[in-house]
Chains A and B, each alone.
Chain A
Amino acid sequence: MTIIDETAESPAPDGSGDTGRPLLEVRDLHVEFHTRDGIAKAVNGVNYSVAAGETLAVLGESGSGKSVTAQAIMGILDMPPGRIPKGEILFRGQDMLKMSGEERRKIRGSKIAMIFQDALSSLNPVLSVGYQLSEMFRVHQGMSKKDAKVKAIELMDRVKIPAAGDRVNDYPHQFSGGMRQRIMIAMALALEPDLIIADEPTTALDVTVQAQVMDLLAELQREYNMGLILITHDLGVVADVADKIAVMYAGRIVERAPVHELYKRPAHPYTKGLLDSIPRLDQKGQELYAIKGLPPNLLRIPTGCAFNPRCPQAQDVCRTDVPPLHPVTERDGTELAGRGSACHFWKETIHG
């Protein structure tokens, strides 16, 4: 039983001097929260990596630990009640969890930036967007107030906010939802970071605006050759922009695969269930599939495979043994690059 070695990742596609070393690597990350009702295990041994110019989509329901992992990477977890008992987060080979607070602060915003889901509450309501954007330049680059303001307007132009010069002194509540999310993107982009983590960046937006914002994000990512971690629960958002996908369930990665392969041939019953629950035109008239049951309670994660109570294929072994992330191969044993499934019956699922 081999477990995929995350370090043996294919070289970064950008061909920069950093080849062979991903931009960001999360190794065996554990995060738990101490609550009144006990210890909630939000993240239980997550491994993933992103290279420059690459987009990793992290997919999962709420409570799957996808956002908590991102917050741990950013170093914005509330600790306490949060705690990281185990794991490493390597940024350009250096473990950020071992860095000093000041070192991490300097990385935040300038090297790794984050886009949050709800731009209205995530932007400071009493400061103008111009102030909040120019703050990045003033703090990280010591720029003067005036110069920083000019840069802020430039940034707003970049993310295609009309009449940026007139609107720079407006406050967040004066913008529409889509425009606000553009401002969030601009803020993340300000210092041209190496990696952007976008936590459900379009969930709060209208469908038409969603597409615009996603396109903008993808376009800017290509332009700056940034790594992007896209956290979402929406399979539809992912298909066009992501290179690879990690599916999370109960704080673990249950399946990982290059994006199109995952859609074509899921190797985990959970992923399969997710894909089957997307309405499709060619299945008109049929009842839509839904994964039965509820996401697990993180205070009492089921023994064995966390998905077993909801899994149509569950056997006795699923209730006792935690499945490791098996490398997924073709029927004849040829390895499928970058694929893994944490299911005892992955063979049956993919080739079944």
Chain B
Amino acid sequence: MGRYVARRLLQMIPVFIGSTLLIFCMMYALPGDPVRAMMGDQAYDPAVVASIKKDLGLDQPLLQQYVNYMTGLFQGDFGTQIASKRPIADIILDAFPVTIRLTIFAFTFVTLVGIGLGVIAGLRPDTLRDRGLLTLTLVLVSMPSFVLGFLLQYLLAFKWSVTTPTVTDSTDFAQLVLPATVLASLSLAYVARLTRTSIAENLRSDYMRTAVAKGLPRRRVVGVHLMRNSLIPVVTFLGIEVGNLMTGAIVTEGIFNVRGIGVEIYEALSRREGATVVGIASLMVLIYLAASLIVDLLYAVLDPRIRYA
């Protein structure tokens, strides 16, 4: 187990480097220039631009820039935002907890409601209840989060005045309910569908027949034998969804004006602040990789047939 974790951690390094390098290249190698973006449309002196670029290290070869950047990152130096002159680390420290709160909230929602709906549907496959829930999840999946977000914002805030249209205090859980629901909806629908399929499939397995033949009460047949098997793929999926929820926050935070990582990265992008974008993106990659490692370990715990190799 320990050796497996060590090996996986080692394997994560090239993937981390690869992913961040890719983002770095996409940010810097593709057309677009942060210094010019900062200057806007005003006339500029090429010499000034060049000297600013030199200060920022933007004149060096791309790979050198990447190495410099990553070296800084691991010393806790995320760099400085060009426009606001604030250290990027500060910005991340401010915004991150907000997104984390929102994500955890949404994740809990996804897990509880998603699995719950999936179980309800999957236990009676092909009944009216099952088809109804499947259709509901399909509708949820087909609503991009901005659609659902505005719809709920319009109905709940403007039409019925149940909530405020935007979040004014991100530490107030009541205010986060709406954005978390919107953020959760897509994953929730997927989790419900996956759970449903997994349950319906396992329901017909031989070991379920054995469990019934053993004279176990239905509660136990379903609660122990069925669930232990059916939730394995769901757990895997949930782990991967953590990353998607965090990026989904870009849209959701924008709609509800939650000052989290999503809004920061979006604003940094429109100003072409490479350092901020890559910094936040690197963090997201790291979270994604950590989540997938945890999922793999969990997988092995849940399914004894999987051996560490």
Contacts and interface: CB of A to CB of B under 8 A. Distances in A.
A–B interface present (Cβ within 8 A) = yes
A114 B225 CA distance: 18
A125 B207 contact: yes
B123 to A, nearest CB: 14
B210 interface: yes
Residue with the highest number of chain B CB atoms closer than 10 Å, among A110, A124, A125, A187: A124
Contacts of B217: 105, 139
Interface stretch (A57-65, A115-123, A287-295, A337-345): A115-123
Interface string A77-121: 010000000000000000000000000011111100110101001
Interface in B205-241: 205-207, 209-217, 220, 224-225, 228-229, 232
A245 to B, nearest CB: 24
Contact of A122 (B209, B220, B302): B209
B215 A106 contact: yes
B85 interface: no
A76 B206 CA distance: 11
Nearest to B220: A139
Contact of A126 (B206, B214, B220, B302): B302
Contacts of A116: 206, 209-210, 213
Interface in B7-24: none
Contact of B228 (A123, A127, A139, A173): A127
B3 interface: no
Contacts of B232: 126
Given A116-B206, A173-B304, A173-B305, A124 B225 contact: yes
A116 B214 CA distance: 12
A125 B213 contact: no
A136 interface: yes
A74 interface: yes
Contacts of A106: 215
A71 to B, nearest CB: 8
Nearest to B204: A78
9 contacts: A110-B215, A113-B214, A116-B206, A124-B211, A126-B305, A127-B228, A135-B220, A136-B214, A171-B305
Interface of A: 74-76, 78, 105-110, 113-114, 116, 118, 121-128, 135-136, 139-140, 171, 173, 187
